[in-house]
Structure formats: C-alpha cells, structure tokens
C-alpha cells in the first residue's frame, strides 16, 4: 500500500479585520493511502473545506507541505500544476452552485475534457455519454439544464465532472449534506461503486459521523483547524480516544441491536465552538472538555501514536473504558 497524498503541518490562515488572522487550518499532518477512503469529520467551521482545498492545491498554503505521488506540490505555479489537475479532483457540497445554469448537463461534463484536450468533438461526446452511464444518469438527459435535475442527479453531474479525466484522488466535500436522507444512500453507494470500478482514492469530508462511518476505512477528526484523532473507522467507533471524538459519537443515534451492549453514555458539550480568530491556549478543546486538567490550559497536545491510532490529547480515554461504562 503506497502513500498517494501526504500533508505535513499544513497551515492556512485568512486575513480578518483588525490585522488578525482566521486560523482555519492549524498544522494538519495526514497521509492518504492509495485506494482508501479517509473520512474527515468535525463541526461546521472547523476547517474541513479549507483543508480539502489545500490538499488539492485549489488554494495556497500559509505554510506546510503537500506531496502528491511523491511530488511536492506546495509551491507549484498554476502552469506546473495544470498537468496534475486531472489526477486530483474535488466534488463540491452544492453541485448547483458549481454548475453554470445556462449550460446543459452534457456541456458541464464535457468542460473538463475540453480544457484538458481530451480529444476531438466526437471523442468528447462518447466520453460524456460513457460518464453519464457510469454515474447513473440517462443519456436522454444530456441536453437538460441543471434546474431540470433533482439534487441527487445534480450531484451525479458533479461526480461525472470530477471523474471525467480518470483522477487518482477525489476530495469529496460534504457531497451528500445538501441531499434528502433518502437520496444520500444512493449517492454514497455510487461513490463506493466508482471507487471499486475505477480504483479511486477518496478524502471524504462530512460533518456527520453517521455518514462517514459507512464509507471510510480510516477517519480523521478535526476540531478548530486541527486533527485531534485518526483511527481505523471501526476502532474509532468502538473506542474513541479523544474526548471530542467521544462527544461527537455520543450525539450519533444508535440502534439497539439487542446484544445487551450498553449504549454509549451521552456527552453533552457545553459552550460554542470557539472562534478560529481567538483560539484558546493549550488544547483548543479545553474550554469544552469534560476531562480537562490544568496542563490542558497551557500546553497544546501534539498528535501522537497511542494504541494503534493517533490522538492529540494529554489524557486520552483508554480504549475499552467506554464500553465498560
């Protein structure tokens, strides 16, 4: 298993009023292995989209590095990035906002093919038809406009655009958040089918742990611009090590499977997510953490390996203690 993408200490700050900085992403390091799905979860505003854009260099980093297929792409110029673009694609949360209302679905899917010189008009037409088949859209709808499609179908158009040029990596930024629950499962299944068929690697962003659980091999949990825990999906759910992961998980409704396994104790987080302009000292989570101690207020915990996972906490929950409650 080889590393496809590797991010080291990625920082992205935006300028805010009064000369201050919005610390959207604050030193994220992670690796994405070829063929896997890495889920990225966290509350709204914690920097998921900004991180996703940094990973595919749709935005410049404030500092840190991103390597794609072993190549440092952190500071590549637009011109040098261009040949790499087809291999790294982003699927947006709101496909409607990313589609031109005056262009047909067929045109929208053809656009990346034209931009990257895929072939002549006939070759592009064939490829677009093939892509419609792949994402489960009817060829009869090639000439329809975005508003004539349902939300789920529009996301299929977005996915067809993203896979048009045979990418290696697809960063999907909350691709089902805007869809009805009944449609979400269909689109998630499409992602899974395409991964198998095309050998894709996904970074799958969501604010909802319920959604990422089913699609992810590993999950990275973000809080205020930092990754606080990374673990195999099943292990993360079975025994979260970071108090924030535990709180997030306790908010996910569980179905009683009749096994007699005690339900997770519900942890209610008090207080709002602090602003990324005014990050707390020490551990960013300390004002809301039920396990906070004096050290947490002064020293920022680094992401370190604990029991087969990575966790950024001075006092991680020992695996198993949750189930024993």
Ligand X SMILES: Nc1ncnc2c1ncn2[C@@H]1O[C@H](COP(=O)(O)OP(=O)(O)O)[C@@H](O)[C@H]1O
Segment near ligand SF4 (CB under 6 A), from 87-95, 119-127, 267-275, 290-298?
290-298
Q: In this chain, which of 37, 49, 89, 284 binds Mg ion, going by CB under 5 A?
A: 49
Segment near ligand SF4 (CB under 6 A), from 65-73, 80-88, 114-122, 283-291?
283-291
Of 42 and 282, which CB lies nearer to ligand X in the complex structure?
42
Pull the structure tokens for residue 59. 């935005």
Pull the structure tokens for residue 152. 């789920």
What binding mask, one character per residue, do residues 268-307 give for ligand X by CB under 6 A, x or -?
--------x-------------------------------
Is residue 158 a contact point for ligand SF4 (CB under 6 A)? no
CB of 176 to Mg ion, least distance (A): 13
Is residue 273 a contact point for ligand SF4 (CB under 6 A)? no
CB of 280 to ligand X, least distance (A): 15
Subset of residues 12 to 31 that bind ligand X, contact rule: CB under 6 A:
14, 22, 24
Could you tell me if 222 and 244 are in contact, meaning their C-beta atoms sit under 8 angstroms apart? Answer: no
The 3-state DSSP composition of the chain as helix, strand, coil percent (nearest 5) reads: 35, 20, 40
Decide the pairing of beta strands 3-15 and 63-68. antiparallel
Its sign, for the CA torsion 160, 161, 163, 164, is positive
Segment near ligand SF4 (CB under 6 A), from 28-36, 163-171, 183-191, 287-295?
287-295
Subset of residues 211 to 250 that bind ligand SF4, contact rule: CB under 6 A:
242-243
Residue 229 — φ and ψ, nearest 5°?
-155, 140
Segment near ligand X (CB under 6 A), from 41-49, 84-92, 124-132, 313-321?
41-49
Q: How far apart are CA 64 and CA 56, in angstroms?
A: 14
Place of tokens 């067809």: 160
Instruction: Give the relative orientation of helices 121-134 and 151-163 as an angle to the nearest 10 degrees.
Output: 130
What residue 296 binds from Mg ion, ligand SF4, ligand X, none (CB within 5 to 8 A, per partner kind)? ligand SF4
Q: Is 156 helix (H, G, I), strand (E, B) or coil?
A: helix
- DSSP class of residue 149? S
Residue 251 — φ and ψ, nearest 5°?
-90, -10
Its sign, for the CA torsion 102, 107, 110, 116, is negative
Is residue 309 a contact point for ligand SF4 (CB under 6 A)? no
Applying CB under 6 A, the residues found at the interface with ligand X are 14, 22, 24, 42, 44-50, 276
Note the residues at the interface with ligand SF4 (CB under 6 A): 242-243, 283, 285-286, 289, 291-292, 296, 301, 313-315
């Amino acid at each position: 298993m080889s590393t496809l993408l590797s991010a080291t200490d990625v920082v992205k700050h935006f300028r805010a009023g009064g000369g201050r900085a919005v610390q959207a992403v604050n030193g994220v390091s992670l690796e994405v292995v070829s063929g896997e799905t890495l889920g990225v979860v966290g509350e709204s505003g914690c920097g998921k989209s900004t991180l996703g854009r940094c990973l595919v260099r749709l935005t410049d980093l404030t500092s840190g590095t991103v390597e794609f297929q072993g190549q440092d792409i952190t500071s590549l110029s637009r011109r040098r990035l261009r040949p790499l673009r087809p291999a790294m694609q982003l699927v947006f949360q709101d496909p409607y906002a990313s589609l031109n209302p005056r262009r047909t679905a067929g045109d929208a899917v053809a656009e990346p093919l034209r931009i990257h010189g895929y072939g002549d008009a006939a070759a592009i037409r064939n490829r677009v038809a093939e892509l419609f088949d792949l994402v489960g859209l009817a060829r009869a709808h090639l000439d329809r406009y975005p508003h004539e499609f349902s939300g789920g179908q529009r996301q299929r158009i977005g996915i067809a655009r993203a896979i048009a040029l045979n990418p290696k990596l697809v960063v999907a930024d909350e691709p089902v958040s805007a869809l009805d629950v009944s449609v979400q499962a269909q689109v998630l299944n499409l992602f899974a089918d395409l991964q198998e068929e095309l050998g894709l690697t996904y970074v799958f962003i969501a604010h909802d742990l319920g959604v990422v659980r089913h699609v992810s091999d590993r999950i990275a949990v973000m809080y205020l611009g930092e990754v606080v825990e990374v673990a195999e999906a099943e292990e993360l759910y079975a025994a979260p090590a970071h108090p924030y992961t535990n709180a997030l998980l306790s908010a996910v409704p569980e179905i009683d499977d009749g096994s007699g396994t005690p339900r997770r104790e519900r942890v209610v987080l008090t207080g709002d997510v602090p602003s990324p302009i005014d990050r707390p000292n020490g551990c960013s989570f300390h004002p809301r953490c039920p396990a906070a101690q004096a050290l947490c207020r002064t020293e920022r915990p680094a992401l370190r390996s604990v029991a087969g996972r990575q966790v950024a906490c001075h006092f991680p929950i020992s695996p198993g203690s949750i189930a024993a409650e």
